[in-house]
Amino acid sequence: MVPPGAAVTVTAPRAATVLAPETGRPPTAGSWVSRGQPLLRLVILPGGGELARAQEEITVAEARVENAQAKGRRAEQLLRDGVGTMAELEDAQAELASAEAVLRAARARLDLLQTGRANLDVGDLSPITLQAPESGVVNSVHFAVGQTVSDGAPLMEIVKPDPLWVRVPVYVGDAAAIDRGVPVTVVGPGDPPEAPGQVAYPIQGPPTADPSAVSVDLFYRLDNPEGRYRPGQRVGVSVEFGGATEGVVVPWSAVLHDVYGGTWIYEALGDGVYARRRVEVRDVVEDFAVLSRGPESGTPIVVIGAAELFSTEFGIAH
């Protein structure tokens, strides 16, 4: 799992239309982004109360354009009459170009407010660029280019995959016996039995539990510099119990499971005579099972062929 504070959600500061960043396409889920990297651009939509103001801005901009056009015509006439200068004409032309740009932007904003269309001249709309607040992997993307999003809408989630937290649910009856100060060994589901695993270190996590499973959660920090493990991935964890306890140990191959999850072994009573006995497995260490309840030490049991005895007894394949 991702540690608290290692996941950042990028949200829309206001209602807006999403555009791609100037550098190309927005990053997709699974992409690595660096802090400060442009993620996307937003064309901010005016609020509902700004419609009248947008219309007023168009009226003012149109008046500026008309005034600049008239000023330009006068400058041209004065230059032809020999009483004006080229500099005055260039100033009038520059003022006209500026006024026309303001008018285009005002019309584009009003059009966007009224219709929500995204196929407008981006240069006239002055979009803002959202950058990655932290370096990490894009975990999810919640928008499409051209989509209109609401104020505060989540756009993208960025997570730091190193380190990760490992949440280990343990039976409440065993929680007190586990040595919380000792690191644990983490292995992947596909690792071979001889794999050494990776060390994870105990940390203080939230006091969570699952009443339906009668379990409490222990948390460990797992370094993940190469990104081998992913948030939400299932792993195997070997924990160490504090103190030394005695118990009967049997080969793991001698233990059978019924359809209800019960565990059994077969006791050898004599030549060709066997009895099925219920056992409770406390732990499995390599190829051996440590029993919390079962036969006394020294009791002969079936190690090879136990599954065949089970099938013969119940007439089913095991």
Rounded (10°) angle between helices 86-115 and 51-81: 160
For the chain, list the domains and their CATH numbers: 7-45+124-159 (2.40.50.100), 48-115 (1.10.287), 164-238 (2.40.30), 248-314 (2.40.420.20)
- pLDDT score for 228: 84
> From its phi and psi, is residue 118 left (phi > 0), alpha (psi between -120 and 50) or beta?
alpha
How much is the pLDDT for 118? 45
Q: How many CB atoms lie within 10 A of CB 66?
A: 12
Number of Cα atoms under 13 Å in the Cβ half of residue 145: 13
pLDDT at residue 119 in the model: 47
What average pLDDT values come out for the chain (318 residues) when binned by 10 residues? Answer: 86 88 88 91 71 78 89 86 84 88 82 58 68 90 88 90 89 83 86 82 90 90 86 85 75 88 89 88 82 87 87 71
pLDDT of 155: 92
pLDDT value of position 48: 56
The predicted pLDDT at position 39 comes to: 92
